[in-house]
Chain A
């Protein structure tokens, strides 16, 4: 097999950052905040790179949609082993109302334009937690889907995918071309090493606008308000078990 793989790489606020809401409650603060590749997308890239190392894939195209800084995310993907990047640039304000459907449309169009055999995306992005892109992309393309994959094996023209489902594992087989979404235990992504990052500077990144892919990103939704989660009430220390019971009773728990 020599697949051409398209991988979605979303730029998100780093998982270690404490998220803060803007004073006007219009969204979260992104300025000066550390961003990195969505961890599930790192897993997706890693899987694609492993398939290339096993000679199952011949080319990996990394895709990212968002502001200029998405180039950095793509550079990381290229340093990990992707061959080229496609950046669909969407300005800050437009990006805030962008929905998974928009991304799915872009992925679907690119899949056709670039003669893609397999799309791998993270099962969800850690910022909006939508878990929709893989499914909608598959629907738009009318391709089979294998979501939340924790193991992928390529077998003559199809993929055998192990999925983590509630309380167990499900093994399914999907024909190619198809869409797969990566779950946490699919693999452990490698580091982008510094020499590879420098080498990746020579790899091409194509820049597109949404309209080049025929996607209209004008907002369909309006953010009314973004709120901090309620602050946890301070606890209180009690002397002994009796006091605990007393307290619980007072609170109506027993």
Chain B
């Protein structure tokens, strides 16, 4: 009944942790929780960490709907009223003052526009009011950056690098003194901030940074040396969150090891210089530059979040900002879609308006669905964050991956609908497409985030499986019987009744199939763990399929929740939303099936190893292996 668990090689906590560390931009618990977390890890053998995250629980085949049903609302009446007033000035500013095409062609934001953004309050949207910020919650912030994303992603990154990552560490981990000292000036945009992690030899692998800080002989300063590349706002930022290795001695063993520490570094400390603005494909008006630190004296008071806690600080900053990217990109998608609709409903070819052709209709419908998923994810996550959830790292990672790929597809298809016009600069879409490309690369590449989702989930599932093994060994009847009953139902086909029962009856079928997919996902995960043990870490072909299925399942649940809300409230778009949700889910369910089958299908597994072989040969050869058929 229970699969024999005797020689299971489960994921050892340490192996996964080390491996996750190799994956940059993988959020970690906040330093504040660090001690608690260690304690938890020690007891993990007995009891796996409980999570209220839907995606996390998906890995044990369970639908935990606490964060997804009903569709959360991050705004109370007062927030709503305030937001209603806030949206207009931002919209007007981008319509009337900011000139996205000009910013792009000059590769800079004119000072007058920057000043306008300062006056608008755009540099301190979430900074607390007492420190000159606007004091928005995550959902309010999401709504405003949605507007920014609809107009100018370059300015979006200028603003985002400043507040979403540049000084976010100070709001999240800063001491009162640090907040008092730095926030008032950065929140108004009097000074600009930057987030300085990436180095020439360290991108995705953030833990491998070489920039180092060592205590000065008098113990009052850290002396910082090293160089960073591709730092947004790096050319002019006055206040930087800089990550560097610091030697740390373990009191128990006396051994000294380098660990990453975050510092608040002011340009005026001395020894800070920066390179010229990089020339790049998109978000041209956002400054990207190298920053060098040459014996920079950083007062010890400027350690941010604790010595040796830098990696967690970095990952938490990124984790806390991802929903904003999804929100901004949903604004971009809205704008691209609108342009496409305007064209499609005006252009006549072959005697008919092109919106009457199935080809164009399919494109438009797909654009709408991708937008619906992205927008729903952004606001679901921001609302959960506003409600105090801290268990959203997988959802946030998924939203970043999904949004950046969806926005790319939507804008690409919008260009296709416009035909030759789409390729012309005057239409603006080609600029948007160039701007969008970076979103799949920075703040954690999508590839790394996929692996992060899969590995974190597998680790969670591994903990559960291990617990079960122990129970079998020790004869813990309660646990065994509970599990046995669950499995018996599964095999006999008596499913636990639809675990997504909150979904509106009109979408009951999709809910039921998605809930079945959750179970199927859990079974697949378990069999992968049993088959590969800790070696699953290196099975990226498989991990990517697991991640793809997880993303699709989460997307399904998100849109089912959103559409259910619309139907229950009977809002005017309810029927439209139901259609979006239905088709989205139906298609996603097919993909989920494919991906879950792929990890065990012999033919697919053989394809994977063949592809691995193909790539190896190419890399050994340094190019494509075959000549053209002419042989010349």
Contact = CB atoms under 8 A, between A and B. Distances in A.
A201 B135 CA distance: 12
A72 B84 contact: yes
Contacts of A195: 121, 124, 132-134
B89 A191 contact: yes
B628 interface: no
Interface string B125-136: 100010011110
B89 A197 contact: yes
Interface in B542-583: 571-572
A76 B119 contact: no
Contact of B82 (A32, A193, A198): A198
B85 A191 contact: no
Interface in B98-124: 119-122, 124
B85 A193 contact: no
Contacts of B119: 191, 193
B173 interface: no
B176 interface: no
B121 A201 contact: no
Interface in B422-469: none
A36 B135 contact: no
Given A31-B572, A72-B84, A75-B81, A191 B92 contact: yes
Contact of A194 (B78, B81, B120): B120
A34 to B, nearest CB: 9
B89 A72 contact: no
Contacts of B135: 198
A149 interface: no
Contacts of A194: 86, 89-90, 120-122, 125, 134
Contacts of B120: 191, 193-194
Contacts of A36: 88
A72 B122 CA distance: 20
B93 interface: yes
A34 B82 CA distance: 15
Contacts of B89: 191-194, 197
Contacts of B125: 194
Contacts of A31: 572
Contacts of A192: 85, 88-89
B85 A76 contact: yes
A181 interface: no
Given A193-B120, A193-B121, A75 B93 contact: no
Interface string A151-179: 00000000000000000000000000000
A62 B317 CA distance: 42
A195 B90 CA distance: 12
B113 to A, nearest CB: 13
A79 B86 CA distance: 10
A71 interface: yes
Say which size band chain B's interface belongs to. Answer: 20 to 34
Nearest to A196: B121
A197 B572 contact: no
A216 B86 CA distance: 34
A71 B81 contact: yes
Given A75-B82, A193-B121, A198 B88 contact: no
A167 B86 CA distance: 40
A72 B133 CA distance: 21
Nearest to A77: B85
A75 B121 contact: no
Contacts of A191: 89, 92-93, 119-120
Which among B85, B93, B119 has the highest number of chain A CB atoms within 10 Å?
B85
B134 A76 contact: no
Interface string A204-242: 000000000000000000000000000000000000000
B90 A198 contact: no
Interface string A67-86: 00101100110010000000
Interface string B59-93: 00000000000000000001001101110111011
A56 B133 CA distance: 31
A198 B134 contact: yes
B86 A197 contact: yes
B108 to A, nearest CB: 23
Nearest to B187: A195
Contacts of A201: 78, 82
A190 to B, nearest CB: 9
Nearest to A32: B572
A191 B85 CA distance: 11
Contacts of B90: 194
A72 B85 contact: yes
A192 B572 CA distance: 31
Contacts of A76: 85, 88
A71 B133 CA distance: 23
Nearest to A69: B84
Nearest to B96: A191
Nearest to A191: B89
Given A191-B92, A194-B122, A75 B85 contact: yes
A45 to B, nearest CB: 14
B539 to A, nearest CB: 48
A79 to B, nearest CB: 7
Nearest to A80: B89
A203 to B, nearest CB: 12
Nearest to B116: A191
Interface in B3-22: none
A64 B86 CA distance: 19
A197 B85 contact: yes
A197 B93 CA distance: 15
Contacts of B134: 194-195, 198
B572 A79 contact: no
Contacts of B81: 71-72, 75
A36 B133 CA distance: 25
Nearest to A16: B95
Given A194-B134, A195-B134, A79 B92 contact: no
A211 B461 CA distance: 66
Nearest to B97: A191
B187 to A, nearest CB: 9
A196 B132 CA distance: 11
B198 to A, nearest CB: 31
Contacts of A72: 81, 84-85
A36 B92 CA distance: 12
A197 B129 CA distance: 11
A158 B20 CA distance: 75
A64 to B, nearest CB: 13
A247 to B, nearest CB: 22
Interface in A75-128: 75-76, 79
A207 to B, nearest CB: 14
A28 to B, nearest CB: 15
A192 B82 CA distance: 12
Closest 6 CB pairs of A and B: A194-B121, A195-B121, A191-B89, A75-B85, A194-B134, A72-B84
23 contacts: A32-B572, A36-B88, A69-B84, A71-B81, A75-B81, A75-B82, A75-B85, A76-B85, A191-B93, A192-B88, A193-B121, A194-B86, A194-B89, A194-B125, A195-B121, A195-B132, A195-B133, A195-B134, A196-B121, A197-B82, A197-B85, A197-B86, A201-B78
Interface of B: 78, 81-82, 84-86, 88-90, 92-93, 119-122, 124-125, 129, 132-135, 571-572
Given A191-B93, A194-B90, A198-B129, 10 more contacts: A32-B572, A69-B84, A191-B89, A193-B89, A194-B89, A194-B125, A195-B124, A195-B134, A197-B82, A201-B82
